[in-house]
Structure 1
């Protein structure tokens, strides 16, 4: 009986327990081995990344300082040559060949130098002047060199060098042969040790900016001396005085991770890597405990997880049936999948944010770089009127691209956040379409692109959001021109598909003969920042937002958009949008005579603007058209000047919205409430960078008559003013 109990115990408990222990030990061994290999690989990668980072930064550091030295030496050469010209000018003006101390002092001040030394052909000082005590005596060993005195033999010969002084400062020196008599002009600029340290990039600064997120120690040496490190107390020491570095130098192989002891036999183990640069060595190392940081954690976690699973299995075996076990397993798997999905979504969102910042950094900097570059080119060719005109045209093109980018980013942000507000106002669809064509025909004509249009619309006056309809059609036509072939064609069709007496479905078809799109790219056409070719931003000045905005606007209007394209043959877009029919619209009357365009010349305008640059631009546009301008620096100032003026003094008010003291909305409301005959009738035009529909609505609610957006378009401003000339 006793033997049976022992056998039963063995079968039910001992062997399962041994099996579980065996599995646990096997799992621990497997996890430990995998974690150990993973940690070693990660440590090797971190050390490699760290050493490569230092090498790359050191290269950038060398390039920066070389460029800085070259520019500084070129400057002192130009200074020496300029002083020689000044001497010639004095001789021609006064007939005197001698220079006094006042002359040298003036030259030193004008050229922003530290000092000037005049030598004869034998190196004897004729006259000198210095602003900080660094004179011929201190520089004698340099200015009496044969290479310096040799410039006296040739008037066009120059010599320049950067001289490092013992106190850490340096002198940029240039020598130029005199053209009026045998001799040498020596000029120099002294940079103090403190400024030299602050101005020059040093490798220590680059290391301090490196944050690997781990505990790598980076050390840069020039052989035996440590010149930089990302740990305090190492810079300035000798390699042999630091046990861990000495051990690395003796045992490490270039580019390979090695394990060494940090010093004596009982010292700490470290993983290290040694790389050699052009004139330096890079040491990177980390403690073994840090390199294998996750291995014990993984083992502990595995042990805990295994014990937990084992306990759960035992409890399930004791208390639950097989069906419940399967259900629990299914739920566990489902939960793990949800975690993976959530992790993927988080990773995708983070990647999208990073890509957005990278693209915006590139796309915004590109036109800004163009604007700044053209300004510098224009300054250089200040006397070349043709070059100046070319620079202004390119600056205008670059600023237009920058404005388009900002508008598209803001539109995309508004659409994604649901803040875009559609209008609901009457408009003539034919007039809107014709106006867009007139705007785009000029850009098309520059490339020889033929534009044709057909109209088949019964109900021409509709109710909707013309501003956003115009925007999406401009996007479509702009792409049709941008990605078309030279001397190609664009066909725009506007037709009424159907109507039920209240709603009319209008279809816009735009077909071009452009470069087309591949089938794979068409699957991602409406994703933000998507462009088929990597060089699209530079070749076509695209942002990749146009079609995403277009699709969002179409869907917000309740419409649909379809695209048919073939690579190399062209693209056709088909947009269908429902609009409410304006039953109260009066029949169109064809104009029989064209009236001359009105101008604002002779009008007196009160301009309220707090930005000096915007004031200057607005005043130029208005006064150039014959308008008299009175300026106000904020809303309160505009209110006070209008209230103090006689009725009829001002014909209109141009009011900026965002101003200190009192903004444009408050000032407009206050003017409308004044007790005077023209307070309610004087035209008030909003002038603002807020260009959305809700901004227009807010301006009209405040009592303004028009809404002009920045950057100002002179023709629009003057045409709008002229509209109120007779009112």
Structure 2
């Protein structure tokens, strides 16, 4: 019976390990989708702001024309700001308090856009209602006003994203009444148990007990209201994954003769593997569709590469052949980034580029921000916009890897 007990525990732990592996894949895929989505939204907003600037240079636009442009481009709002950073015109469908704008302008040193006619600043604002808005700002060309366009990021994401972290476990079935929960350390953001969805961790005693009883890579046991549960939890980036089963489901066959128990267990286990394999394949196919969309979107960038800050490694996703050839001559990410700056960035912009792309400080500079950006000319005199975004964030807030994208300015 002791052998049966050990085998049942080992088998349950292995099944939980498979579920955890699947969930980690889901979280990583979702983060990749989200990162590319943010880049796409910001780039789209920059293009809309640049086009508005062109329209203003052609003619003096009145409020009716601004309203028409806002509706055509599906913007949330348009601001005109003077040299003292005072809002002189505000056309919008959702108004943001002036105090928030002033704080954002001051923190971004918005007046710097007057020094460079083609410079674009992008950032985000989060309201007291936890609504997030992306905005792009640039000089109107006459150096007396700043044009600001902004969009509600949450509504934009709802319109464009088919995969949501909140629904990643909706309808996900686990045999023997197994429960899976995904949290951000404070709130249950997804679960196949509807009673847990959206709850604070402090309101979920079972999760709190699993946190207290945690043993790395081991099955642990907790008791809640007289019910005993076996399970495990682990983390993946900024997410925490919990998997647990009721005791009576885990050890239902314990009282059987060992030989029959082992045979039935093996048969049942292989059936579960096949069922889960098919279910995982369906989910992988769905996410592969999303992945292909992201790959197609990434083609709008002339250069797109990932830097692992921990390992000092450099991975090119998309770049002109000449950039790839230069990168092959160097080993570390820091060497490659310096070489790209030296060989391809105009001399007047190299110092600024090195400040933005300094890998030893980029994690601290990106902490709490959506992105860093820099407008520059290459050796041939063409304007480009560089965006640096966090790709993988550790639970302590440290940024493990970043994604660089560069696109020529229209």
Same fold (TM over 0.5): yes
1:186-335 mapped onto 2 (5 Å cutoff):
186-191=148-153, 196=158, 199=161, 201-258=163-220, 260-263=221-224, 267-296=226-255, 298-299=256-257
In 2: Cα distance, 1:282 partner to 1:174 partner: 36
Indicate if the aligned counterparts of 1:173 and 1:188 stay in contact, CA closer than 8 A: yes
Does residue 182 in structure 1 map to residue 161 in structure 2? no
Quote how far apart the aligned CAs of 1:123 are.
0.8
In 2: Cα distance, 1:277 partner to 1:198 partner: 25
Task: Name the residue aligned to 2:358.
Answer: none
Equivalent position SS for 2:241: strand
Indicate if the aligned counterparts of 2:182 and 2:240 stay in contact, CA closer than 8 A: yes
Indicate if the aligned counterparts of 2:57 and 2:140 stay in contact, CA closer than 8 A: no
Structure with larger RCO (C-alpha < 8 A, sep 6+): 2
1:80-99 mapped onto 2 (5 Å cutoff):
80-90=49-59, 98-99=60-61
Task: Name the residue aligned to 1:549.
Answer: none
Quote how far apart the aligned CAs of 1:247 are.
2.2
Residues 170 and 274 of structure 1: CA distance in aligned 2, closer, same or farther (over 3 Å): same
In 2: Cα distance, 1:275 partner to 1:228 partner: 15
In 2: Cα distance, 1:125 partner to 1:240 partner: 43
Paired residue total: 274
In 1: Cα distance, 2:260 partner to 2:237 partner: 47
Residues 193 and 168 of structure 1: CA distance in aligned 2, closer, same or farther (over 3 Å): farther
In 2: Cα distance, 1:161 partner to 1:200 partner: 24
Q: Deviations over 1:50-92 (max 9, x none)?
A: 22222211111111111111101111111111111222222xx
Structure 2 spans left out of the alignment, 5+ residues: 262-266, 301-410
Task: Name the residue aligned to 1:58.
Answer: 27
Residues 302 and 115 of structure 1: CA distance in aligned 2, closer, same or farther (over 3 Å): closer
Indicate if the aligned counterparts of 2:136 and 2:150 stay in contact, CA closer than 8 A: yes
In 2: Cα distance, 1:136 partner to 1:119 partner: 11
Residues 52 and 175 of structure 1: CA distance in aligned 2, closer, same or farther (over 3 Å): same
Give the TM-score taking structure 1 as reference length.
0.34
Residues 204 and 100 of structure 1: CA distance in aligned 2, closer, same or farther (over 3 Å): closer
Equivalent position SS for 1:256: coil
Residues 175 and 221 of structure 1: CA distance in aligned 2, closer, same or farther (over 3 Å): same
1:370-519 mapped onto 2 (5 Å cutoff):
none
Quote how far apart the aligned CAs of 1:143 are.
4.3
Task: Name the residue aligned to 1:540.
Answer: none
Q: Deviations over 1:268-291 (max 9, x none)?
A: 332111212222322211112111
1:551-590 mapped onto 2 (5 Å cutoff):
none
Quote how far apart the aligned CAs of 1:138 are.
6.7
In 2: Cα distance, 1:131 partner to 1:239 partner: 36
Quote how far apart the aligned CAs of 1:139 are.
4.1
Equivalent position SS for 2:175: coil
Structure 1 spans left out of the alignment, 5+ residues: 1-31, 91-97, 304-342, 378-727
In 2: Cα distance, 1:167 partner to 1:195 partner: 17
Equivalent position SS for 1:220: strand
In 2: Cα distance, 1:186 partner to 1:142 partner: 12
Q: Deviations over 1:92-142 (max 9, x none)?
A: xxxxxx542133223323433222111122112232322344575774443
Quote how far apart the aligned CAs of 1:175 are.
0.5
In 1: Cα distance, 2:259 partner to 2:123 partner: 65
In 1: Cα distance, 2:202 partner to 2:6 partner: 32
Residues 197 and 234 of structure 1: CA distance in aligned 2, closer, same or farther (over 3 Å): farther
* Larger strand share, 1 or 2: 2
Indicate if the aligned counterparts of 1:80 and 1:175 stay in contact, CA closer than 8 A: yes
Residues 200 and 136 of structure 1: CA distance in aligned 2, closer, same or farther (over 3 Å): farther
Indicate if the aligned counterparts of 1:104 and 1:128 stay in contact, CA closer than 8 A: no
Q: 1:162 aligns with which of 110, 124, 146?
A: 124
Equivalent position SS for 1:53: helix
1:530-679 mapped onto 2 (5 Å cutoff):
none
Indicate if the aligned counterparts of 1:151 and 1:176 stay in contact, CA closer than 8 A: yes
Indicate if the aligned counterparts of 1:169 and 1:194 stay in contact, CA closer than 8 A: no
Q: 1:108 aligns with which of 56, 70, 80?
A: 70
Residues 234 and 198 of structure 1: CA distance in aligned 2, closer, same or farther (over 3 Å): farther
Indicate if the aligned counterparts of 2:209 and 2:222 stay in contact, CA closer than 8 A: yes
Q: Deviations over 1:528-553 (max 9, x none)?
A: xxxxxxxxxxxxxxxxxxxxxxxxxx
Quote how far apart the aligned CAs of 1:185 are.
0.6
Indicate if the aligned counterparts of 1:151 and 1:177 stay in contact, CA closer than 8 A: yes
Indicate if the aligned counterparts of 1:101 and 1:128 stay in contact, CA closer than 8 A: no
Indicate if the aligned counterparts of 1:273 and 1:284 stay in contact, CA closer than 8 A: yes
In 2: Cα distance, 1:292 partner to 1:141 partner: 59
In 2: Cα distance, 1:218 partner to 1:72 partner: 32
For the aligned residue pairs, the C-alpha RMSD in angstroms reads 3.7
Task: Name the residue aligned to 1:39.
Answer: 8
